[in-house]
Structures are given as structure tokens and as C-alpha cells.
A and B are shown apart, each in its own frame.
Chain A
Amino acid sequence: MIDPGSAVKKGSTKPEPAVAPPTKLILALFAGLIFGFLLQKGGAAKFNILIGQLLLQDWTVAKIMLSAIIVGMLGIYPLHQAAKVNLHLKPTRLGPNIIGGLVFGAGFALMGYCPGTAAAALGQGNWDALFGMVGLVVGSYLYAELSGWLKKSGASKLGDYGKVTLPDAIKVPRLPFAIGFAALLAICVVVLEHFTIR
């Protein structure tokens, strides 16, 4: 039974269709194929590379992520400046970001794959990723069970700053900041490459 107070107000949001439009699904199919292909080629579907990163022995994952961030940033911000793309920002909430982040990390270390790389690992034939994938489904439902309480208690809004980017926060124009930040990350990559074996 639905509590009178918790029913969704009709018409408050436009109803989501059960299936997204086909063009979007086809785009998702291509994006996923490329994403999985690149994750596997980069080694991110391998257990030893993922755990090796958490043990600070193998820096492959950091190198993939940093180069994806640098290249991505140098495309998205100019495109955004030219009004060709929307940003897709998630709200900054210090409490949930920190607590959720730490819990996520602990789970990552236990399982050895993260949600995206588990899918890639499965594709590579690392069947053990299935244990964690089942856990991810169960955990997602448990979170949904707790979501009402987390919202009511205010925990999910702890330290809420809304959708805010680094350049917004320090009040500098976005594009120049992004270029500077990408340069800074590039220096990190050079340093990383110099001091790591792999």
C-alpha cells in the first residue's frame, strides 16, 4: 500500500517511457561497444591491473583515466562554449560524495572490478565479475529501500552545493580554466610516466 503522503504527484514530472527512443538506444549501443573495446584494450578488464592500481603497483588505470579526462575536457569545454553540447553536471554534496566515495572504494577493493569494468571483464571471460554484478544489483535495491530514509534524515543533502564546477566556484571563465587544468593534468601524466614501471 502506498502511504498517502508518499504518493507521486501526478503531472509533477513528465512520465518516462519504459523504453527510450530507438535513435538513443542505437547510439548507446555504439558508445557501449567502443567503451568496452577501449576498456579491454587499455587493460581495465583485468583483475590484476585494477587491484594493482589500488595497491599502487600498476598505474595503468590512473593513466587511462587521466588521458580520458584531459582529452575529454579539451573537447567538451570548447564544444560547450560554442553552444554545441550541454554539460551533464551532478550535484556536489560533500557528505554523500565523501561517505559514498569511501564505501564505493572499499567495495571496489573487495570485488576487484568497478561497475563499468565488471561489464568489460565479463566480456573478456572473467566470469568472477558476475558475483560482484549480482551484488551490485542487490546493493542498488537496498539503496533504493534506504533512499526514503536518507532523504528524510537529510543525509543525502549533507553539504549540498548544487551543480557547481571548479571554475564556477573560483569565479573564472570556464574554457581558459579547462585548458589550464588540462595542462596541469598533463604534467601529472608526465610525472607519473617517469616514476612508474607500468
Chain B
Amino acid sequence: MAHLVPHAETTAANLARVLRLHALPSTPWEPHQRAVAARRLLEELGVRCDESAALHDLKGFLLSSPRGTELVISRDLNDEQRVEVYAHLIAHALLGPDGPELALAARFEYVPGRAPGERPPHELREEVLADAVARAILAGRLEAAPRLIYCRDLAPGRGRFSRAVLRGLHLGSLALYRRSRSYQKLRSLPVVTAFTERVHSFLGSAA
């Protein structure tokens, strides 16, 4: 059985780190180098990448099965767009189903304005959330998204009470993040990210 992407949390964290490193002023990488680095990283982590597809309404798509995970990207995209699609599809993988793993799963990334009109509500909800998480990955700051998205296993906590409070805070943050674009923006502010990290460290560190 297959996950959307093997070790999605690790993959997303590493992709964000690579993109952060490549955005540092001391090492200003060209878009092409960022795209190559992103692809190389994904392939090293077991994701097959095909950037040669002749797609029309899609920028790319993800297919996953016990035979592996494959990201197929339109050959018409430039380097920046390719990185965006990689980040977006990895964001979908992070948001993938919690339930039983499926034999075959797919996610489609549409060219703006060419998505079909009658998409189911759950797909549209996931799309909005994936947008926000992809922004966090592209900024190299995965921590700008709620922790439960990229790390489902919380720390042991100082005790039963602090663990319950911690879990409640993270669940609340995730619920707000799913529903409110304003909260998504607020949550991505460095000062808010730093504050939530401190709260998590305080409540989450083992006694």
C-alpha cells in the first residue's frame, strides 16, 4: 500500500530547507538551480519526477501506488513554476488522507483558470489549504504552517495535562488554519511562528 509520498513529512521539511538555503542572500541561487535542487532532492527521497509531459490544463500531477510515487510536470513550465508545482504537490501529500492507505491515489494541479467548474467541496478545501502550506514550503519556513500538518506525532509533553493542552492548541490552530485565510497569514508571520514554537517547546518538552 502507498502513501501519497513516502515519508511526506521528511520530504516536505527537506524541500523547505533546500529552498531556504537557496534563498539566502549569501548564496543567491538562480531559479534553474533551485528547480534542479528540488528535483534532485525529491528523487533522492524516492519520488520519481518527470518534467517532460505535454499537458494542457494541468501544470502537473501526482500519482502514487505500491509501485512508487511519481510527480509529472508540464514541460511548458519555467523553473520557478516547476518549483511551485513540486511544493504544491508535496503540500497535498502532507494533507493526504489519515485513513487507510490506498492502492492508487492522485492529485491534480491545474493551470489557473482551467480547473473544472464542478469539483467536489473536499477537493476545493484541500486546495486552499495546500496553497497555504505550499507558500510555507516555498518560503523555506514549514514552521509557518500548523505543526500537526507536518508533524503528526507531538512531543511526549511535561505531563498528561500539558500534553492535553498542547494537543488542544495544535488542533485549534489547525482547525482555524483550515477555515480562515486571515489566520493563515497571521500564522505565517515570523513573530507568531516564534511564539508558537516557544509555547510548543515549553509544553512539549519532557519533564
The yes or no verdict on A and B being binding partners is no
